[in-house]
Amino acid sequence: MYGYRARIGYTSPPLITEVFAYEFYKMAPEGVTLMLTTLALTTRSKEEVDKSFEMSLEAAHKMAKAGASMVMLGGNPISLIHGGSDLAAFEAKMSQDVGIPVTTSTTAQTKALRLLGSRKVATAHPYESGHNERMEKSISAFGFEPVGALACDYNFLGLGSVPAGMALTLARCLKAEHPEADTIHFGSAHWATAHVLDQVERELGVSVMSSQQAIFWHALRTAGVEDRIPGYGRLLREF
């Protein structure tokens, strides 16, 4: 089988998933495959979030039966609303239920920021600026100090259309406006960011954590693949 080293289960919040799988296969070593179930989000309504949580649980069970090495539950809002106040306990219970490691994108990103030694984090995200406050709250919930957020002003259905130059442009703006930032966070795993991670780190002298990169990294390491992967930031190269 193609996934002879690891088969990574991922529940992907957008009903139409495009960028995550593209970036996954740019980063993945040979022998590592993605097992993907798309969820229900097109507008992020409460109904869609609730439905997506139910779909995630069902998919985690099916992925375990299908031979996944581990399962990553995508979507901070989905996990934070439904996973309870203690996400570690939720993950432990899920892992026990399905018989393989289950983790969440929230945990992945928190661990990534800790390992990178981040303290002051500026966030660029693809959504409308109405989401800035939520993004800053996420950084606080991860245990770090938010120092600004910038939006691309796209909606859920437009994520795959964000221009390839957008992430770099916003990172430069953020660092200029918030020179105290030691880390740039590209929030959301579903817009084009992987191709600029190294450049942002090198050019701006910061660490970079993108949601997609952190999810990929945590999933891979949880599945026992320890290869250091060049080209996509310190996180994958050093940890």
Partner 1 sequence: MYGSRARIGYTCPPQIAEIFPYEFYKMAPEGVTLMITTLALTTRSKQEVDRSFTMSLEAVRTMAKSGASVVMLGGNPINLVHGGSDLREFQERLSQEVGLPVLTSHVAQREALRLLGSRKVATVHPYESTHNERHDRQMREFGCEPCGTVACDHNFLSLGSVPKDMALTLARRIKAENPEADTIHLASAHWATAHVIETIERDLGVSVMTSQQAIFWNAVRTAGVDDKIPGYGRLLRDF
Q: How far is the CB of 37 from partner 1 (least distance, A)?
A: 5
**Which single residue is written with the structure tokens 């450049």?**
199
Shortest CB 10 distance to partner 1, Å: 10
For residue 75, give the amino acid letter. Answer: G
CB of 163 to partner 1, least distance (A): 6
Dist CA 238 CA 162 (whole Å):
29
Closest to 162 (Cα-Cα) out of 195, 130, 131: 195
Q: Does 18 bind partner 1 (CB under 8 A)?
A: yes
Q: Which of 207, 91, 233 is nearest to 144 (CA)?
A: 207
- Using CB under 8 A as the binding rule, whether residue 22 contacts partner 1 is answered as yes
Interaction between residue 27 and partner 1 (CB under 8 A): no
Select the residue interacting with partner 1 from 27, 35, 73, 167 (CB under 8 A).
35
Exposure b/e, 120-130, CB count within 10 A at least 16 = b = bbbbbbbbeee
Binding part of the chain for partner 1, among 18-26, 108-116, 130-138, 207-215 by CB under 8 A, reads 18-26
- Cβ proximity to partner 1, 147 vs 162, nearer residue: 162
Smallest gap from residue 27 Cβ to partner 1 (A): 11
174 CB-contact burial (10 Å; exposed 0-12 / middle 13-18 / buried 19+): buried
> CB of 100: closest distance to partner 1 in angstroms?
13
Which residues share a beta bridge with 104? 73
Tokens of 107: 């945990």
Query: Judged by CB, which is closer to partner 1: 43, or 140?
Result: 43
40 contacts: CB under 8 Å, gap ≥ 6: 15, 48, 51, 52, 55
Build a one-symbol-per-residue string for 119-158: x at contacts with partner 1 by CB under 8 A, - elsewhere.
Answer: --------------------------------------xx
Nearest to 113 by CA among 184, 212, 201, 166: 184
117 contacts partner 1 (rule: CB under 8 A): no
229 binds partner 1 (CB under 8 A): no
Max CA pair span of the chain = 49
CB of 69 to partner 1, least distance (A): 11
Positions touching partner 1 (CB under 8 A) are 1-4, 7, 9, 15-19, 21-22, 25, 33-38, 42, 59, 62-63, 65-67, 157-158, 160-164, 192
